[in-house]
Amino acid sequence: MTLLALETATATCGVAVLNDDAVVAEAHLHRPRVHAERLTPLIEDVLGHADVSTEALNAVAVSMGPGSYTGLRIGTSTAKGWALSADAAFVGVPTLEAYAARVGPMAAPEDVVCALLDARRDEVYAGALRRTTEGLAEHAPTTALPVETLPDWLGTVDGQLWLVGDGAPKSRDALADDAFSCVTLPADAVSPSAGWVARRGRQRLEAHGPDDAATAEPLYVKDVHATPAPSPFD
Amino acid sequence: MLVLGIESSCDDTAAAVWEDGTVRANVVSSQADLHEEYGGVVPELASRNHQRLIVPVVQRALTKAEVDVEGLDAVAVTYGPGLPGSLLVGLSFAKAFARGLDVPLIGVNHLEGHVCSVDLEGPRPGRPFLCLVVSGGHTELVRVDENAQHEVLGRTRDDAAGEAFDKVAQLFGLGYPGGPDIDRHAETGDPAFHDFPRSRLDGFDFSFSGLKTSVLYYLRDRSAAERKRLLADHLDDLCAAVQAAVVDVLVDAMRRAVEETGGEHVAVVGGVAANSSLRRRMGALGREAGVDVSVPALTYCMDNAAMIAQAGARRLAAGHTSPAALDVHPNLQL
Amino acid sequence: MPETTRSTIQDLLPQTTDSVKATMALGARIVNILAPGAVLALYGDLGSGKTHFAKGVARGLGLRPAEVRSPTFTILSVHEEGKHPLYHFDAYRVQTPDEFVELGFETYVHGEGITCIEWAGRVSPLLPPDTVHLQFHHVAPSRRRVTLGAPDASDDETSQA
């Protein structure tokens, strides 16, 4: 299988190509607000370095969120464009699943990896995977929540708790409890990775088949609660 | 040449297939119903809807045109002006789609698309022509020459003409977009019911914010009960009076532009060009002044992707293509 | 913001303006006593003079006022040709402060330019502590009163559901 993977949910703009079982090329920029301009040229570069032609692509995986709405718009519509023109399968990967999976190889069985993205004010986007003897399993579902409710959402952690992401620093105090033995990984050293979107994307394809590019939507997590524009007579 | 056009600058998701001057498919999925209850476009909702609609709309256009993606020669897409989030969905998709097919990408200025909408059907206006671009977001008077170069003669300094209709419609308790509702009510109203101000600036610039403020004062100087009665008894008259104020200003500017430039061909494009009074009055101006008047069919007045494909094909023929690094330009001008 | 700047603004306000020109002149005067990085939060009804004030700010920065329109649809327009950049925001159509953040609001307010926000009540959680709050009131068809200070939370635009 030849799979193209995109990660644009945060300030990281990443592209990876997976060929058979291995990620053979990947590139990341860690700069906010350049994704619209740089993503497509970066894809062309990475495909070129992987010596993969468009016709050879079987699948396109994209990080679906939560994250920056702008980043998700760019990544999702770009992935749809490639999937449709290359006649490739489309597969959405939850951002925090791919991010937590990046830390998976460092964790021991019963450890929990919690990926946290800053969602402004006192909130974070959070998702957690638990290391099992077979691999990784969901420990707590992706959500947006105030940091003080993190312990309830996490529940019991038997092993070590790994925190990763730009939401980790502000979450630490809420988790500085005897119930958790925490390791925090710095977000700039362990950033969201297109390579891990590729690996999780391939797993999802094998387990559940492709998603429908026509109906796929980012995981915004937060709804838009629209209110009418202000009344002119008050 | 077979061109796929994509347009997502505001609240309509659109795709079209264009072949050598013929529109083979023109698909528009409007979100107006969704935004109506908020009295205008909610940017985040619009962006999310474009994401939901982009693939189905493109697929429908290709199916209707009975075209295989491999047959496409180019992809033309709006890159501005417009809502940043909305533009990003169409542009990101189009860039990837064009690269995936290995065909040229052509970024198109939405306003240039509107100007090109007069060439989609019927007799093409002679060159040079004076073109009034009027919509919810824009009011510009431009001179278009043989090489499709635009010289901007004037533009609005505040609200667009369509925005004035939207805001007044909100004051009148009408729906969004305001233009069609005002047009419908005005049909049976008396335009002389009240004299709303017509602002005339030096040169060909426009200003519509004074009209909005004047309507606001006209209504808020009354008690709520009085206001309610006035709107119940004279809504049609008020709509006619407001419409006359907007149309007078637009027609007057075009008349002066014809006199000053000696132009022989004029055109009105954009959503407000669907206004029945503006179409009638421009027709009358044409007869009085002895100039040809072109106004696109209603379908092509509204935002659509056929005009984007048309403009893109012309750009491509002139040797222009866009780089893969093309970004959105929400405040792009002509 | 230094105390001296704040007291100068207090010398200018409240003020009643008798014409569009006077509202613009006030904008031009105020911007001249502000330092780069300043944030002006404008509150007031439709047609109360916010945009004309912003046009005055533009003129004070050496920009052409005719080029400045309230970015109701695009939310942000950036004008970089003046003495300092002008970041002109319009929150009228904004539903959540997050939409502002996505457009880079936080980098603009701490940047090199002057930030002007119309309908600022819709994004009040994002406004920095040193924001200059200005309220615009209709007095008569061509008369406006401009006062210093944010509106009470009770008549905050965001609370009018």
Instruction: Using the predicted structure, report yes or no on whether residue C107 has a pLDDT greater than 50.
Output: yes
Cross-chain residue pair A227–B88, CB shorter than 8 Å = no
Structural domain of residue B103, as residue ranges? 2-115+300-317
Q: Do domains A2-94+192-208 and A96-185 have the same CATH topology?
A: yes
Instruction: Using the predicted structure, report yes or no on whether residue C155 has a pLDDT greater than 50.
Output: no
Cross-chain residue pair B92–A77, CB shorter than 8 Å = yes
Inside any domain, residue B322:
no
What's the rounded Cα separation, in Å, for the pair B172 and B231?
7
What pLDDT digit, counting tens, does each position of B200-233 carry?
Answer: 888 999 999 899 989 998 998 899 999 999 999 9
Nearest to A211 by CA among A114, A73, A128, A94: A94
Read off the amino acid at residue B117. Answer: S
Same domain, B96 and B165: no
Contacts of A227 in chain C (CB under 8 A): 95, 158, 161
Contacts of C94 in chain B (CB under 8 A): 43
Q: What is the pLDDT of residue C5?
A: 52
> Confidence band (pLDDT; 50, 70, 90) for A42?
very high
Q: What is the pLDDT of residue A233?
A: 62
Same domain, B110 and B207: no
Q: What is the pLDDT of residue C86?
A: 94
What's the rounded Cα separation, in Å, for the pair B11 and A115?
35
Same domain, B166 and B288: yes
- Judge contact between B316 and B5, C-beta under 8 A: no
Same domain, B134 and B164: yes
Half-sphere exposure of B218 (CA within 13 A, CB side): 19
- Judge contact between A140 and A153, C-beta under 8 A: yes
Question: A96-185 is classed in which CATH architecture?
Answer: 2-Layer Sandwich (3.30)
Inside any domain, residue B328:
no
Cross-chain residue pair B40–A37, CB shorter than 8 Å = no
Inside any domain, residue B325:
no
C window 88-147, beta carbon within 8 A of A: 92-93, 95-99, 101-102, 104, 119, 125
- Judge contact between B270 and B121, C-beta under 8 A: no
In chain A, domain spans: 2-94+192-208, 96-185
* Burial (0-12, 13-18, 19+ Cβ within 10 Å), B31: buried
Contacts of C51 in chain B (CB under 8 A): 158, 209
Chain B contact residues (CB < 8 Å to C): 10, 40-45, 81-85, 136-137, 156-159, 163, 167, 205, 209, 212-214, 216-217, 330-331
Instruction: Using the predicted structure, report yes or no on whether residue C158 has a pLDDT greater than 60.
Output: no
Instruction: Using the predicted structure, report yes or no on whether residue A226 has a pLDDT greater than 80.
Output: no
What's the rounded Cα separation, in Å, for the pair A192 and A189?
10
- Judge contact between B237 and B190, C-beta under 8 A: yes
Of B41, B82, B205, the CB nearest to C66: B205
Shortest alpha-carbon distance between residue A86 and chain B (Å): 6
Inside any domain, residue B75:
yes
Cross-chain residue pair B82–C74, CB shorter than 8 Å = yes
Which residues have C-beta within 8 Å of that of residue B218, sequence separation ≥ 6? B194, B196
Same domain, B271 and B205: yes
In chain C, domain spans: 3-7+17-146
What's the rounded Cα separation, in Å, for the pair A19 and A5?
11
Structure tokens at B330: 């929400």
Cross-chain residue pair A36–B328, CB shorter than 8 Å = yes
Cross-chain residue pair A74–B171, CB shorter than 8 Å = no
Nearest to C33 by CA among C50, C48, C13, C55: C13
Cβ contacts from A onto C, under 8 A: 35
Shortest alpha-carbon distance between residue C7 and chain A (Å): 31
Nearest to B283 by CA among B273, C87, C13: B273
Q: Let me know if domain A2-94+192-208 sits in CATH 3.30.420.40.
A: yes
DSSP string covering A75-141: HHHHHHHHHHHHT-EEEEE-HHHHHHHHHGGGPPTT-EEEEEEE-STTEEEEEEEEE-SSSEEEEEE
Chain A contact residues (CB < 8 Å to B): 36-41, 43-44, 54, 69-70, 73-74, 76-82, 84-86, 213-215, 217-218, 220, 224, 226-229, 232-233
What pLDDT digit, counting tens, does each position of C53-101 carry?
Answer: 999 999 999 999 988 888 887 888 889 889 999 999 999 888 888 888 8
Instruction: Using the predicted structure, report yes or no on whether residue C157 has a pLDDT greater than 50.
Output: no
Q: What is the pLDDT of residue C159?
A: 36
Residues with pLDDT less than 50, chain B = none
Same domain, B129 and B163: yes
What's the rounded Cα separation, in Å, for the pair C19 and C16?
9
Same domain, B309 and B276: no
CATH topology of domain C3-7+17-146: Rossmann fold (3.40.50)
- Give all strands of the β-sheet with A136-146 in edge-to-edge order: A136-146, A123-131, A112-118, A161-164, A182-185
Residue from A34, A227, A234 whose CB has the most chain C CBs within 10 Å, to mutate? A227
Cross-chain residue pair B52–A80, CB shorter than 8 Å = no
What's the rounded Cα separation, in Å, for the pair A91 and A83?
9
Q: What is the pLDDT of residue A65?
A: 96
Cross-chain residue pair B159–C69, CB shorter than 8 Å = yes
CATH number reported for the structural domain that contains residue B182 in this entry: 3.30.420.40
Contacts of C95 in chain A (CB under 8 A): 224-227
Whether chain A has a CB inside 8 Å of the CB on C157: the answer is yes
Whether chain C has a CB inside 8 Å of the CB on A226: the answer is yes
Cross-chain residue pair A232–C45, CB shorter than 8 Å = yes
Q: Which long-range contacts (CB under 8 A, 24 or more apart) does A17-25 make?
A: A17/A46, A17/A47, A17/A50, A17/A52, A17/A198, A18/A195, A18/A198, A18/A199, A18/A201, A18/A202, A19/A50, A19/A52, A23/A195, A23/A198, A23/A199, A24/A50, A25/A49, A25/A50
Structure tokens at A185: 């990984």
Inside any domain, residue B331:
no
What's the rounded Cα separation, in Å, for the pair A5 and A7?
7
Residue from A31, A47, A77 whose CB has the most chain B CBs within 10 Å, to mutate? A77
- What's chain A's length in residues? 234
Domain count, chain B: 2
- Judge contact between A112 and B131, C-beta under 8 A: no
Of B10, B44, B212, the CB nearest to C99: B44
A window 66-95, beta carbon within 8 A of C: 68-70
More confident: A135 or C161? A135
Cβ contacts from B onto C, under 8 A: 60
* Burial (0-12, 13-18, 19+ Cβ within 10 Å), C153: exposed
Residue from B37, B41, B140, B331 whose CB has the most chain C CBs within 10 Å, to mutate? B331
Contacts of A54 in chain B (CB under 8 A): 99-102
Q: What is the pLDDT of residue A231?
A: 65
Contacts of B45 in chain C (CB under 8 A): 95
Shortest alpha-carbon distance between residue A6 and chain C (Å): 20
Instruction: Using the predicted structure, report yes or no on whether residue A207 has a pLDDT greater than 90.
Output: yes
Cross-chain residue pair C161–A232, CB shorter than 8 Å = no
